[in-house]
Structure 1
């Protein structure tokens, strides 16, 4: 069982943060603001939206139109027609100012610090203890984005993207969560049952419209979940991690990672993908790599069963798609034999990522009438004996060999022996979609020598057929000689 112990350094649970994101409750709290500019008016509006009792210190002659309008209509805002002094900080939760000069900013900053009040000087980050992010408001759901002042335009662009992802109805779902939260806490003890309820709540929030019956359905769910709480049965989800690039994960895969208690991950799963997992989840490497010490499949099956019977939500995280050369069938059978619920979340398989990176259609109507995925690595570590080489030797059949690095020479000789032309286009990609991606384009006659030169320590994918002719042409167009190796940066 030693093979089940982690065999590589796990990514940090939390990478370094430029600033600590803190959401500060200001309802009914005294906040002071010195200045009457348009910038100050915007900050005042933001503070008032949080329920703060805002005191603005500014002479009338310095009030902008927007500040004057805000003072006229805001009952929670008290305007003091004078400049600020050290006495304004007494009892204040926060202090803000819009200062024209650095000298004035420094004076306000030190006065606030001396009074023990956190301070922000608008547009002068060197005099700020805290900063305001770019906000997506679905209150009580609030998202704030910060670039630590490096690129405000980038923060705004991120906000626009998030705005499109979060439906406006999320505001109402958030309010409903506040209404039922106490009921959930009373009926469901902390742990898998409570988290399972909230995960279903989230799925509804993103897929259903809130209506008059939504609250009753949720209350019914609480009762149903409570009745199951005595059962210790967990759940196993087989999740496709894709070829490596975390941006290729599905939303459902990310949700599964965020819900997991334990993650059993393959050696080929990237650190970037693991970074999206729930921080509290236990992560265990159960990788299987050709030519290296590996975990036995039986041990992995036993571990999933044991963890699920202990009530854990287990994610079996597999590179690519679990249902394509991922031995998912064996794992599903083992779990079902123990009556353990199992779900499958598909992932982008390596052949699809290869086609995307090359800009090649695997089923181009002018070149390929079918596509086949073939394993280049059987249980015995060699090519399977029942491959129909005759049908694969037709150039109009696009064939992608998975895990074919160590059998490349046999693939080449078998295809040639069954009549495939030595000039048939071939593409080899290593670590597709990752930062260390390599690609080689050439002919079938060069395949074995190319793979020997590239090495087989990383995942090797071999594409054969006329569909790859355009990739070979494009490769040659870069000035690379035929059979040269191109190192490619990850997409994005």
Structure 2
């Protein structure tokens, strides 16, 4: 088994580095050297347009012609980036004779150093290497790290670099410094930088640095939108929050795929609400957030869809603010947007719908407060967060307010998930169609002219099912009946 490479970060500022080759690969390597402050010397009979531009700007030196070994005498590193195997070997042999580190692109056997895949956040760099044997694996890991490390890490790195000497003077022993950094990074400092509250972050750093006695870490709550179920729709900020959480309070409908993205050793508590069966009261959820935050824990309140779209996020923020708990909000992709997209239904369309309305009607009180005349207008889309209960009442009220019984609808069950189903029909047969196909929660109702496009524009999962009930209710619709959602 080959010995692992020795990881090394080289200071190349104002130092000459030779690049042999004038093509696209050489241009990419030269660009990386320029970002590191090096002074590249490019050897090639010709140059790409990008290399030529850098040469015209005086940023690189061009040695026109083919490689000569003596050009290695004054450089710190050499990169061979030609498509000529013999030329690359000549570069490697000449570098070996001079004990000079050389990288031959895509040839680990000839290379004495490898250029890693790098994640950069300001002065902070994370380098990944497979020893040259599996570069695509290193790039794949880099993409994953890109999602975990947001731009606030650059601010943190800059702060610690500026304050390095002060920190060393304040905490001369390594153990003290380690505890100091752990306290800062476990507290609100990263969150303040994510929220672009730089002055508050600097003040917090100063106060912690000046304190002689360390206090318990401060807790916080992040309201995080989990999206509709497809783990691929979780935002980068949501992923970061879930991986920093000590406690995750999640809704019943947050998918297992999404939950698996969270921190493995976090405490998971289901606090979802359900129309039937056991569910947590909102006051209980408030109490849990307060208990864990006051104990110094980082809490994620993980909600299906978006916290501020029928998710009671506003109520929870009001509670947290009233009790002095620090909070942040990470938006999620709401069900209306995701379910419509995964069903091939554009919520707006120049020919069919110039507006979209997000509606919920879970109970009698909410139904009575809706402006049904406005909701019944044509050329608009209704996205109804009401599952599959109360559809008779919904149909009756809309038709009574003037909406045509022939208006198309689509019921999207388990939108964006592997088990997604889409059922289509017209308003006249909405409840009967839902019953005949046994549509179950979670389901979103999309009503409007655009819903008819599901049959032709679908792209995810099985083709939409058509309603098979005859339109027997277009004339004599039943009186409104209220059902629990």
* Bucket of the pairwise TM-score, normalised by the shorter protein: 0.5 to 0.7
Q: Does 1:65 align with 2:47?
A: no
CA distance, structure 2, for counterparts of residue 161 and residue 189 of structure 1: 28
Kept in 2: contact 1:197–1:222 (CA 8 A): no
CA distance, structure 1, for counterparts of residue 146 and residue 300 of structure 2: 30
Kept in 1: contact 2:147–2:236 (CA 8 A): no
Match of 2:359 in 1: 374
Match of 2:126 in 1: 142
Structure 1 residues 415 and 312: alpha-carbon distance in aligned structure 2, compared to 1, 3 A threshold: same
Match of 1:94 in 2: none
Residue 384 of structure 1, CA deviation = 2.6
Structure 1 residues 423 and 472: alpha-carbon distance in aligned structure 2, compared to 1, 3 A threshold: farther
Structure 1 residues 302 and 481: alpha-carbon distance in aligned structure 2, compared to 1, 3 A threshold: closer
Kept in 1: contact 2:387–2:444 (CA 8 A): yes
CA distance, structure 1, for counterparts of residue 314 and residue 231 of structure 2: 25
CA distance, structure 2, for counterparts of residue 163 and residue 473 of structure 1: 37
Kept in 2: contact 1:369–1:396 (CA 8 A): yes
Kept in 2: contact 1:395–1:465 (CA 8 A): yes
**Alignment root-mean-square deviation, CA:** 4.7
Q: Does 1:483 align with 2:467?
A: yes
TM-score by length of 1: 0.61
Residue 294 of structure 1, CA deviation = 0.7
CA distance, structure 1, for counterparts of residue 445 and residue 100 of structure 2: 70
Residue 419 of structure 1, CA deviation = 2.5
Residue 313 of structure 1, CA deviation = 1.5
Q: Residue 440 of structure 1 is aligned with which of 420, 423, 426?
A: 423
Q: Residue 406 of structure 1 is aligned with which of 385, 389, 398?
A: 389
Task: Flag structure 1 segments of 5+ consecutive residues without an equivalent.
Answer: 1-21, 28-62, 78-96, 99-121, 123-131, 209-213, 485-492
CA distance, structure 2, for counterparts of residue 137 and residue 333 of structure 1: 38
Q: Does 1:300 align with 2:291?
A: no
CA distance, structure 1, for counterparts of residue 254 and residue 424 of structure 2: 26
CA distance, structure 2, for counterparts of residue 23 and residue 394 of structure 1: 69
Structure 1 residues 450 and 154: alpha-carbon distance in aligned structure 2, compared to 1, 3 A threshold: farther
Q: Does 1:289 align with 2:274?
A: yes
Kept in 1: contact 2:226–2:304 (CA 8 A): yes
Match of 2:445 in 1: 462
CA distance, structure 1, for counterparts of residue 270 and residue 243 of structure 2: 18
Residue 278 of structure 1, CA deviation = 2.7
CA distance, structure 2, for counterparts of residue 23 and residue 201 of structure 1: 39
Structure 1 residues 73 and 166: alpha-carbon distance in aligned structure 2, compared to 1, 3 A threshold: farther
CA distance, structure 2, for counterparts of residue 163 and residue 237 of structure 1: 21
Residue 193 of structure 1, CA deviation = 3.7
Question: Structure 1 residues 325-334 or 135-144, which shifts more?
Answer: 135-144
How many pairs are equivalent? 371
Match of 1:195 in 2: 186
Residue 152 of structure 1, CA deviation = 6.9
Matching of residues 176-187 of structure 1 within 5 Å? 183=168, 186=177
Task: Flag structure 2 segments of 5+ consecutive residues without an equivalent.
Answer: 9-87, 103-107, 469-485
> After superposition, what is the alpha-carbon deviation per residue over 1:462-491, rounded to whole angstroms, capped at 9, x for unaligned?
011112232244469x9877327xxxxxxx
CA distance, structure 2, for counterparts of residue 445 and residue 256 of structure 1: 45
> After superposition, what is the alpha-carbon deviation per residue over 1:186-220, rounded to whole angstroms, capped at 9, x for unaligned?
2854765432366359859xx99xxxxx9x99886
Matching of residues 86-101 of structure 1 within 5 Å? none
Q: Residue 361 of structure 1 is aligned with which of 346, 351, 356?
A: 346
Structure 1 residues 226 and 319: alpha-carbon distance in aligned structure 2, compared to 1, 3 A threshold: farther
Residue 424 of structure 1, CA deviation = 0.5
Helix, strand or coil for the counterpart of 1:384?
helix
